[in-house]
Structure 1
Amino acid sequence: MHVTSDRVLRARRNGVGRLTLNRPEAINAVDIDMVRSMLAALDAWRDDADVHLVLLDGVGDRGLCAGGDVRLLREHIVAGRFDAVEEFFRGEYLLNATIDEYPRPFVAFMDGVTMGGGIGISAHGSVRVVTERSRLAMPETRIGFTPDVGGTWLLGRAPGRLGEFLALTGWTMGAADAILCGLADHAVPAAHLPDLAHALETRADPATPNELVLLFDETMEPGPIERARPWIDEAFAGETVAEILERLRAMPETDGEITPSAVHAELVQRAPLALAVTLRAVRRARELPDLRAALAQEYGLVSWFVRTQPDMAEGIRAQVVDKDRSPRWNPATLEGVVDDMIDEAFAHRAPVPLWTDEGEER
């Protein structure tokens, strides 16, 4: 695979293959060419004896990656170019699986905004570093969609019911909560990332990436999600979205940055259909055998949302294009979401499968 993009800087030095996302004006949001460029680099370095680890970071101080280029995806959806949308997701999901299965240590600097697709290219790595500036989230329900890029696999393994909470609300995590929820491993001050990158190249003793990162790791105070976890676990154990909302309404108000009333207020703004699909997706992901199986489930849901439902295009319009923050969801209420619709979503199959029988991307 020989694909390059000036939006992905590729370098190989002192045993480190470095991928740097270079689209700072869009907080390094990824498009299909960037995905292919990263895949090509990882393919080239896979059997390169001179590459001992891969390091992912991003240009600019706003964030590693704000996600996929949803404006372009909406243009494809509105124009009926569904094949182009699914082609992007197939490439993205292959990249997620490649990172998860990579035979070299994969170190990701999740500094600043790291959301959606940005989680997919970092949180499946083997050494995941956050900073005091990190802001992690899977905010897909905000645009009438459902967590993907292996997000259901990651959130399904978060402690207690934090996975349901994060998937449904799209709540933003700081460094401490990202580590608690299993999306990151180490917290390093942003000012020390250049020194850490240098240490990874010079192989300071101790030599393994995890041991090196520990030299820069700083223990952080518990985050607001951890402090709110007792009542979050209780509320998000509800069997349905309606029951979760009812539990939140019945809870006494609490102190702290996250309160039952604030969470309830966020949920009622989300697309009812996306909430119902997402709740089932996260819980089903807990029973799946591996990341590839979760990605296959997510891919079917992507195709279903794109080809049969209006909410995703409408959510992107309201949040990203027109920015009126007034999406018109269909159905507009949870009462309009029936079980048959959810069953249909999980039974849907895209025209082009994600994986072949041999497990490779088509």
Structure 2
Amino acid sequence: MLVTQESVVTEAQNGVGWIKLNRPHALNSLNVEMVAAIYKQLKDWKQDSRIALICIYGEGEKGLCAGGDMRTLYDLKENGVEAYAEQFFSTEYPMNYEIHRYPKPVVVYMNGIVMGGGVGLSIGASHRIVTETTKWAMPEMNIGFFPDVGASYFLNQMPGYIGRYLALTANIVKASDVLYTGVADCYLESKNWPKLRQAMMEKIWSLDSAEQEINQLLKQYSLSSSPPSSLLSSEQEKIDQHFQFETIEDIVSSLNTTAEKGDKWAEKTVNTLLSKSPTSLKVTLHQLQEGKDKQLYDCFEMEMNVAMNFMKCHDFYEGVRSVLVDKDRAPKWNPAVLEDVSEEHIASFFHYSWNNEQNPLTTLTGNKKYSC
């Protein structure tokens, strides 16, 4: 049984439901059609007793998924961007949430680029596989946006203040760090993926034993490989020292004080922060503070409001322009400095006036996480 969507290919075989992101020319970045197709298929297979296991992967060698298709939002700036954004986010976020609480094992092959929306696809899965080519990031700060797809929840689950650090710097990390932060479960050399995939395809899977048997297969194919030591683990003390503060200004001040004493890591980190949108920095820190005590579904509901308000924000379009359109990497943020971004302005991002007076994600309930 083979069903082909424009950018998603799904196939059911021997009890495995395969979902392939099939847009390699765009690094498998997600558009409305893709998230709708994935969401529908997940819901269909959830009820199908013939499907015991789900596997999600990306076509091509470059990566699982580079994120959401932000260029489309930019192009619609003057012509219906809020309607498109509402359709996109109100489908993507429930799709992400569905993976978090899926009643069957979900395997995600996180080879190559796994960023933004790609993180949203993988973070809630029960079996998350990284390789020597994995490049993981929440890069939204680079385009004047904010880390979404449930980041308010999962970044707060990372050790110490690493979640804040990765959100605010948008730094790219590799497999060892992805494992250290708890957002992946298994390391596999990419040369072994075809063998693992073939073994999964040849096996007859059943609901009763799928979890145990996928655990055994992953152990078998990953036995001979182990990632290098985590860089983030060696930086944990510095990260916690500087990113514990409750305002961006205090974080910057702490880093500057250490940089003035000759610390190159602090100097590089503060320069990275100051290159980002002041508005995005402050919204993101507030988002993570708000998300710390929220359930996952509440985080998605909050992020829906924030995402829609960014569709009215100068810095989002300027960020996309500088990275994806003109590619000059020279954004002109407005306001340009942290001091000019008021608390009232930041608070306004967390309230959005919906046409029917109800956030479309208020229907998300429960917070069951399938565990392997």
TM-score by length of 1: 0.93
**What's the RMSD between the two structures over aligned residues?**
2.0
Moved more, 215-224 or 117-126: 215-224
The CA distance in 1 between the partners of 2:219 and 2:262, in whole Å, is 38
Match of 1:222 in 2: 229
Match of 1:334 in 2: 338
Q: Which deviations, in whole Å up to 9, do the C-alpha atoms of 1:87-130 show, x marking residues without a partner?
A: 11111101101111111111100100010011111111111110
The CA distance in 1 between the partners of 2:324 and 2:41, in whole Å, is 31
CA-CA distance at 1:207 after TM superposition = 3.8
3-state SS of the aligned residue for 2:10? strand
Q: Which deviations, in whole Å up to 9, do the C-alpha atoms of 1:256-281 show, x marking residues without a partner?
A: xxx11111111111000100010111
1:1-362 equivalences under 5 Å are: 5-201=5-201, 202=203, 207-217=212-222, 218-251=225-258, 252-254=261-263, 259-289=265-295, 291-307=296-312, 309-351=313-355, 353-357=359-363, 359=365
CA-CA distance at 1:172 after TM superposition = 0.6
The CA distance in 2 between the partners of 1:282 and 1:223, in whole Å, is 24
3-state SS of the aligned residue for 1:54? strand
* AA partner of residue 270 (structure 1): K
CA contact (8 A) 1:54 1:107 kept: yes
**1:203–1:8 Cα change, 3 Å:** same
3-state SS of the aligned residue for 1:145? coil
**1:97–1:6 Cα change, 3 Å:** same
CA contact (8 A) 2:73 2:81 kept: no
**1:181–1:15 Cα change, 3 Å:** same
TM-score by length of 2: 0.90
The CA distance in 2 between the partners of 1:40 and 1:357, in whole Å, is 17
Q: Which deviations, in whole Å up to 9, do the C-alpha atoms of 1:44-82 show, x marking residues without a partner?
A: 211211110100001100000000111101112233431
Give ranges in structure 2 of 5+ residues lacking alignment. Answer: 367-372
CA-CA distance at 1:219 after TM superposition = 2.8
CA contact (8 A) 1:167 1:278 kept: yes
The CA distance in 2 between the partners of 1:210 and 1:271, in whole Å, is 43
CA-CA distance at 1:150 after TM superposition = 0.8
CA contact (8 A) 1:129 1:184 kept: yes
Give ranges in structure 1 of 5+ residues lacking alignment. Answer: none
The CA distance in 1 between the partners of 2:257 and 2:216, in whole Å, is 46
